[in-house]
Each structure stands twice: as C-alpha cells, then as structure tokens.
Amino acid sequence: MALQNLTILGSTGSIGMSTLDVVRRHPDRYRVLALCAHRQIDRLFEQCLEFRPAHAVVGSPELAAALAERLRAAGSKTRVAYGPGALVEMAALPEVDAVMAAIVGAAGLQPALAAVRAGKKVLLANKEALVMAGPVFMAAVRESGAALLPIDSEHNAIFQSLPHDYSENALKSGVSSLLLTASGGPFRCTALGELAEVTPEQACAHPNWVMGQKISVDSATMMNKGLEVIEAHWLFGVPAERIQVVIHPQSVVHSLVQYIDGSVIAELGNPDMRTPIAHALAYPERIAAGVEPLDLFAVAKLSFERPDDARFPCLPLAYRALREGGSAPAILNAANEIAVQAFIDREIAFTAIPRVIEKTLDRLPGAALSTLDDVLAADAAARSVARACIAEMRP
C-alpha cells in the first residue's frame, strides 16, 4: 500500500487522538501532513513534535503565535496558521490523500466540504456536515468523485454490513431497514422526575465511551442518535421510516442491517473508536487497530430496548426535522448546539434542551437548500432564535 498523506481536522479531540494512535502503529502506511485543533495547544505541540507535520492550525492568531514560538524553540519546522480559512486550506492541500473530519459541530462543515470538493478520501466523523447540509454535501461527493467513509461506529457498522455495490441507495440492494444501536446514555434508568436536576458533570459521564462535553450531552439526550438517523439517511439513501433506533446498553453490537429475505447482518466489537478509524483508513484492506478482541464469554448477554420518547424527546424531534427536510435539520442542529452549550454553562436545565429545539423548529419555516450559503443562513437564523428562546426561559 502506498504511503498516504493525512490531514487530521480536530487532532486534539478523542477521535483525533484515536486516529493518531492508529497512525502511530503503521508508520509505513501513513504520514501526517497537517494537524488542526482549536484551543488545546499543549496537546497539539506534543503531537507536532511526535508526528512532525508540515502544517498545524489553531483557532486564533494569539494561539498561533504562542504555538509557533514553542515549536521554533523545540527545533520544529512545522508551519502554524489559524482560522477557518486555514482549515479549509489544509483539507484541500494537493498533496493530501485522506482527511479525517473530526471537528465537532457546525465548525466542521466547511473544511469537510472543502475536502470533498477536492476529491479527497474523507473519513467523516463530523455528523453535522450531513445533518446541516445533506443535499449540498452529497451533491459535492457525486460531482468530485470523493470517497466518503463513515467513522461514527454506527454508520461504519452499517457500511461494513452492506453490499459493496449499494451505491448510495441501500434499498436497491435488498435492504429492508437500518437498525442504529444506542447505549441509552447515563440516564437510561433515571426517574423522569429527576432529569430536570441533572448536572453537566452527570450528563458527561458516559457509561461506555470517552467523549467530549458536547457529544456526551447529546448522548444523554439521545440527540446524537437523532443526528445519526439524519446522517444515515444521506449516507445510505434510506428514508426515515426505514431507520430504527434500538437501545443496546452493552455497546457491543454497533448497528445492524435488515434485509428483505429476513437476514440481519450486524457488526460487533469492543466499544473503541480505533476500530472504525482503522477500517476507514485502510479500506478496503484491514489493519491492526490496537483494540482488544471481543470476548463473547465475558459479554455473556446482549440486551435491546425500544427508546422511550418521553425520556428522550430529542429523538422524535430529529425524525420530525428529517421528514420536513430542507433547512429543518440545519435548524435542529443549530438549536441543539446553542441549547447544549447553555446547559453546560448552567443557564438552562437539562430538560430544557428539547424545549429550546422544538420552539426553534416551530418558529422558523423550513426552506430549500441549494448552496452552502443557504445552509449557513439557516444555521445563523436558528442560533438567533434559539438564544431568544433561552432568554425567554430565564426568570
């Protein structure tokens, strides 16, 4: 296999660090050309010293100057840049073969889209790119011929369980439905009356996965699964009514594909993001990821439950946005980002998150999305309305 040059967008987050761990195991296959982070320059500094990328990107000129000074003092030749424009540049560098798109939230959309438009192999860990801009993003994939490989464990599991020739429409390959598994998060068994009092620390204490704050809260509300339903629709060409969410607390079955002949194909493994990352990096080959083999005797039992809409109201809101189409998913995503941050900042209660999202969807009429500007306009409008909704909730 020829040496692949990589750009890693979001290198200091959990996905980025897992990607670098896989890369570290295969120096003969992968070379890091660019590392991109936002604020964590201490971690980025260490990554630059180890992997010696040609480029590093951070979020502000002040952080860029500080990182550049430290790297120079350490004898590093890594060039440091900053800002959204630099992220887009790193994603589309001519010498880059593959891009890990792992920046969380709407901030990851434009660099991921730039990588697609440049025809790169795109390892998509950013749900929001497809949630916000599904029609625009997939049109760009088709036009450029980019290879789009899903990194979310659920979508990667579905990808592995589909025929290789499904070609953006799984139903034409004999698929009946997609079953997305969900852990249920930390509040799966919490009394409903206690949810209003949960703290950000409790919401971020995921039972099975180590993740950042935002995605951990999304897991607790199950909005993460709602976003994944929308993402699965765009990745695999399956309508909302053919995508089912199944709570599976053990997080061993990562997702399943039901076929019209009654067969169900599932992908299983220990809950470790290095597995889907290694799969996508080497696809269609297989490489070691450093993940322990699954011990079925230790697992012993696998259980499955239907999600409770009363406990997880964000999930039906996501299905609503997908069915409405157009800008509704972008509005949903923006309102969720604002509401989750307000919860983390202790401005609203945990149970207010879905209320902010629903009010924002109710107040903003959906519109067609034809361009990136359409997407960004819907995102900005939704953020403004969501902030107004939060202000109305304050005593």
pLDDT tens, 356-374?
A: 999 999 999 989 999 999 9
**30-81 tens-digit pLDDT:** 999 999 999 999 999 999 999 999 999 999 999 999 999 999 999 999 999 9
DSSP 112-181: HHHHHHTT-EEEE--HHHHHHHHHHHHHHHHHHT-EEEE-SHHHHHHHHHS-TT-TT-GGGGTEEEEEEE
Average pLDDT of the segment spanning 138-167: 93
Residue range 4-150 forms a domain whose CATH class is alpha beta
Conformational region of residue 237, where left means phi above 0, alpha means psi within -120 to 50, and beta covers everything else: left
Cα distance between residue 157 and residue 160, in whole Å = 5
SS3 label, residue 30? strand
What digits encode the pLDDT tens for the residues 234-255?
999 999 999 999 999 999 999 9
| Averaged pLDDT, 209-233 | 89
Do the first three CATH levels of 4-150 and 325-395 match, i.e. the same topology? no
pLDDT tens-place string over residues 41-51: 999 999 999 99
Is the confidence at residue 206, as pLDDT, over 80?
no
* Integer angstrom CA distances of residue 74 from 50, 67, 68, 71: 12, 11, 10, 5
- Mean pLDDT, rounded, for 281-307: 96
Q: Give the SS3 label for residue 175.
A: strand
- Collapsing DSSP to helix, strand or coil, 342 comes out as helix
- Architecture category of domain 325-395 in CATH: Orthogonal Bundle (1.10)
Confidence label for 1 from pLDDT (cuts 50, 70 and 90): low
Full-model pTM: 0.92
Q: What percent of the chain has pLDDT over 70?
A: 97
User: How many residues are there in the chain?
Assistant: 395
pLDDT band of 96, cuts 50, 70, 90: very high
Domain ranges of the chain: 4-150, 155-272+296-311, 325-395
